[in-house]
Structure 1
Amino acid sequence: MAVPSAPPLPGAVFSVAEARALGLPPSRLRRKEFAAAGYGLRIVRGRERSLADQLRALAPEAGHTVASHVTAALLWGMWLPLHLDTAPLHLTRPLRYSQPRRRGVVGHNAALQQGDVVRSNGLLVTSPVFTWTDLACVLSCDDLVAVGDSLLRRQDAPPRGGSLPWPDPLCQPAEIQEVVERRTGIRGRATAVAAWGLLRAGVDSAPESHLRLLIHHAALPEPEVNQWITGPDGRVISRPDLQYRRLRIALEYEGEHHLLDPAQWHRDIERDDRLRQLGWVVLRFTKQHLRPENAPATAEKVRTALLARGWQPGWPT
């Protein structure tokens, strides 16, 4: 006689209620293969747990608790500062419900409208735009701009990361404006308003955003973002991170992967050589150029190139 198989587990992290609904007996939940993860929660020992795994038991699609703030930003793959990767879980409920209260969780209430919450991959998550406005109370204006740029990436951008399989762009500029104008009473709204005016579509990475902002803070003209350059025969030559097209100045941010991948490094060199053959100046930058102590020299590097090409302060490019 065949022995009936044990019911499958809900996941690496699950609630006792989920387990009972699947038919797991209380005796099994007391085994050493599980450990308590707070009131009414269990984790499977030895199994890797993603952020989404942790949240499915706390913010399931069927409930009223929503992953929000930094937690939602990580799920969406937004470009957060690195120190926020280990932030506690943030959960939000509509105003008519009590705040989530659980060890390791920061609870919130918010006036959530239908479009402010997304159901995806078994989770309830605040929308990309609502999440962005929530972050205005914990991020500097420059960091908030970088996060906002990550919402407006082009369709063919490199993989964004995160746990939610939504295509780029995650929203449109008009959607951001609508939520900023609606959420008048939130903490950090002045930061959100200032950052909104500095967002640009088509940026590939946070360092590119910070390089553009460094140029902005130095009162230099704003470069174009990720626009194609073609040769005299119409062939596509390059799409620099930033550029001054009329002055033929291209600015490229070189992430560490460019230096560690020999094939990528070779392509970068060939690309820049083709631009130089067309009369372009190519300026290259790394994360060291973006450090606060190096920002003045970085801005001067751009200023020198502009002046060498005939630009004068106050002139458009």
Structure 2
Amino acid sequence: MKTPSALPDPLSSTPFTWQEAARAGVSRRRLSHHSLASPSRAVRVPGSGADHSLADMARPLTQVTAFSAASHATAFLLWEFPGFLPGSNEPVIHISRPEPMAIPRRRGVVGHRGQFFDDEITIGADSAPETRLRLALGRAGLPTAEANVRTELSPGVERQPDLSFREWRVAVDYEGEGHSEPEQIVRDIEKQEDFARAGWILVRISKRHMTTDARTAVRKVRRALEHHGWSPI
């Protein structure tokens, strides 16, 4: 059997939509090859779905249906809430659309309608923990953070923190479990040194800082902002 052509990055390693594949120049014939799983129409998954995280599997499903977001038991797991929510162990993904739009109906999806709050939605927030952190900072009365903005720290040196307060030269990174890998530790040290040389403070947040409504995380970010001249009105 003929070996299929290689998919371009990042489609070779993460679930994607047909539209994303078309923009990358992938043919319809390649998308029909048996090496790609099809959990739902217009979505393709390289390898087995078990090889990918829930966030990776949910993302294309929110892309193929306009104005939709992961919700209910799926959001419960993505946001790492403590305890157990009925339905969290089911092999489906919950997707909601705002009223009065139609409920999403597709294989592998449980559709819902819900109320979306525009002031709590930011395009560019990469993950649920980062979004939880951003919202907690806002509730605490801190300045509005920008999500995933590339910043030139010095000639030829650019960094893209999870959140940034450019006016006060404070950056915030949420570090998940992958940051304990030796290679990642080296990269994280280099990143912190780049920010420090440019006169920035890089605040590093982990899961343990996010308990009790992220109070410890908020305290760390507040201290950094105040150190660089911010004060509440």
State the TM-score, normalizing by the size of structure 2.
0.57
8 Å CA contact 2:151–2:158 kept in 1: the answer is yes
Q: 1:256 is matched with which residue: 169, 173, 177?
A: 177
Write the distance in 2 (CA, Å) between the matches of 1:144 and 1:198.
Answer: 19
Is 1:217 matched with 2:134?
no
State the identity %. Answer: 31
Q: Residue 158 of structure 2 corresponds to which residue in structure 1?
A: 237
Residue type at the aligned position of 1:301: K
Task: Quote the offset at 1:306 in angstroms.
Answer: 1.3
Task: Quote the offset at 1:204 in angstroms.
Answer: 2.2
Write the distance in 2 (CA, Å) between the matches of 1:199 and 1:143.
Answer: 17
Write the distance in 1 (CA, Å) between the matches of 2:154 and 2:63.
Answer: 47
* 1:183–1:303 distance in 2 versus 1, CA, 3 Å: same
Write the distance in 1 (CA, Å) between the matches of 2:142 and 2:176.
Answer: 23
Q: How does 1:110-125 map to 2 (within 5 A)?
A: none
Instruction: Specify the structure having the higher radius of gyration (Cα).
Output: 1
Is 1:246 matched with 2:226?
no
Is 1:267 matched with 2:173?
no
SS of the residue corresponding to residue 183 of structure 1 reads coil
Is 1:132 matched with 2:69?
yes
SS of the residue corresponding to residue 284 of structure 1 reads strand
* 1:75–1:302 distance in 2 versus 1, CA, 3 Å: closer
Aligned residues: 165
Is 1:203 matched with 2:121?
no
Write the distance in 1 (CA, Å) between the matches of 2:172 and 2:220.
Answer: 11
Task: Quote the offset at 1:279 in angstroms.
Answer: 0.5
Write the distance in 1 (CA, Å) between the matches of 2:63 and 2:200.
Answer: 44
Task: Quote the offset at 1:127 in angstroms.
Answer: 4.2
* 1:278–1:197 distance in 2 versus 1, CA, 3 Å: same
Write the distance in 1 (CA, Å) between the matches of 2:172 and 2:119.
Answer: 22
Write the distance in 2 (CA, Å) between the matches of 1:304 and 1:297.
Answer: 11
Is 1:301 matched with 2:224?
no
Task: Quote the offset at 1:283 in angstroms.
Answer: 0.6
8 Å CA contact 1:238–1:271 kept in 2: the answer is yes
Residue type at the aligned position of 1:272: Q
Q: Residue 15 of structure 2 corresponds to which residue in structure 1?
A: none
Deviations 1:38-68 (A, max 9, x none): xxxxxxxxxxxxxx78x78xxx89xxxxxxx
Is 1:193 matched with 2:120?
no
Structure 2 segments unaligned to the other structure (5+ residues): 1-36, 43-53, 80-95, 104-110
8 Å CA contact 2:99–2:113 kept in 1: the answer is no
Q: Residue 288 of structure 1 corresponds to which residue in structure 2?
A: 208
Residue type at the aligned position of 1:77: M
8 Å CA contact 2:55–2:78 kept in 1: the answer is no
Task: Quote the offset at 1:211 in angstroms.
Answer: 1.1
Q: How does 1:1-317 map to 2 (within 5 A)?
A: 77-78=57-58, 127-129=64-66, 132=69, 135=71, 138=72, 180=98, 182-183=100-101, 189=114, 192-194=115-117, 196-233=118-155, 235-259=156-180, 261-292=181-212, 295-314=214-233
Structure 1 segments unaligned to the other structure (5+ residues): 1-51, 62-73, 80-117, 147-175
* 1:193–1:252 distance in 2 versus 1, CA, 3 Å: same
Deviations 1:129-178 (A, max 9, x none): 46538x3xx369x86997xxxxxxxxxxxxxxxxxxxxxxxxxxxxx9xx
Write the distance in 1 (CA, Å) between the matches of 2:191 and 2:165.
Answer: 17
SS of the residue corresponding to residue 77 of structure 1 reads helix
* 1:188–1:239 distance in 2 versus 1, CA, 3 Å: same
Residue type at the aligned position of 2:199: G
Task: Quote the offset at 1:297 in angstroms.
Answer: 2.4
* 1:76–1:205 distance in 2 versus 1, CA, 3 Å: closer
C-alpha root-mean-square deviation of aligned residues, in Å? 4.1
Write the distance in 1 (CA, Å) between the matches of 2:55 and 2:187.
Answer: 32
Residue type at the aligned position of 1:306: L
Residue type at the aligned position of 1:241: D
Deviations 1:205-237 (A, max 9, x none): 22111111111221211211111111342x133
